[in-house]
Amino acid sequence: MNPKTDNVDAAEIEKFSQLADQWWDADGELKTLHDINPLRLDFIRRHTVLRGEKVADIGCGGGILSEALAHAGAQVTAIDMAEKSLAVARQHAQEHGVDIDYRHMAAEELAQTMPEAFDAVVCMELLEHVPDPAAVIHACAALVKPGGTVYFSTLNRNVKSYLQAIIAAEYVLRMVARGTHEHGKFITPAELARMCRHAGLDVAALSGFTYRPLARDYVLCRSTDVNYLMCCRKPAP
Ligand code: SAH
């Protein structure tokens, strides 16, 4: 297998490349990622002290979460397979005086070059866009030091997530661009937990997050029916 390219869906990369100029438009097509950023940072901070820690951001896009992690004091290495998004990320970081090591690389390749180099690994809203999510999870497990944490967020797969994340979000409320998500690629929390365990990670915490239409914001919640976050730990020897 070629770790550089094998686990990449070219259509997915093209889709995000076409949105590249929108990464930092908080009211644009990628608005949802801006809206959920404070709560995912909040979730991460419940389990990881970020200041001074080395953090890898896998599938970083334009760097919305990477910059938040850097502002929280982490030393961030961030990778994505969309060159255009990385160009936007680099420019935005430079303009805002944020120091982030952006690289055009797949997770599997970074794992080969920097094994056990990170205190924490974050991989948000990526797994539902790759052909083989288990391979990305294995790479994340390989990247983190023993005792370190790995975070995933993705979408659950059921009727409710189809109605909310595809029908409502893409067609009715038009919160995200049509065709952003394919329901068949969504992953249940049980499936994600199983893949994490196979990669040698222990599941430490699970939380849902949900959109409140009246307040027009997102909050962490118990229900993992639609969007959810998982925190895993690599056991120390
Ligand atoms: N993690 C970011 C962006 C999520 S959007 C955030 O939550 O804010 C999904 C990102 O995954 C896009 O930037 C897309 O280019 C990237 N991507 C898709 N397939 C990928 C792959 N195989 N390897 C690395 N990045 C990939």
Secondary structure (3-state) at 162: helix
Q: What is the pLDDT confidence band of residue 204, given thresholds at 50, 70 and 90?
A: very high
Rounded to 5°, the CA angle 41-154-137 comes to: 95
Q: What's the rounded mean pLDDT across residues 133-161?
A: 97
Q: Given a cut of 80, is residue 47 above it in pLDDT?
A: yes
The residue whose C-alpha atom lies closest to atom 16 belonging to ligand 1 is 59
What is the best residue among 64, 81, 153 to mutate for testing ligand 1's pocket, by most ligand atoms within 8 Å of CB?
81
The pLDDT value given to residue 1: 61
Secondary structure (3-state) at 56: strand
Residue-wise pLDDT for 52-107, tens only, equals 999 999 999 999 999 999 999 999 999 999 999 999 999 999 999 999 999 999 99
Nearest of 177, 179, 9, 16 to residue 85 by alpha carbon:
16
User: Using a 6 Å cutoff on CB, does residue 69 contact ligand 1?
Assistant: no
Contact of 17 with 24, CB cutoff 8 Å: no
In DSSP terms, 121 is beta-bridged to 56, 150
Question: How many Å apart are CA 74 and CA 84, to the nearest integer?
Answer: 24
The pLDDT value given to residue 91: 98
The pLDDT value given to residue 96: 97
In DSSP terms, 218 is beta-bridged to 211
Question: How many Å apart are CA 127 and CA 133, to the nearest integer?
Answer: 5
Secondary structure (3-state) at 171: helix
- In angstroms, what is the span from residue 74 Cα to ligand 1's centroid? 20
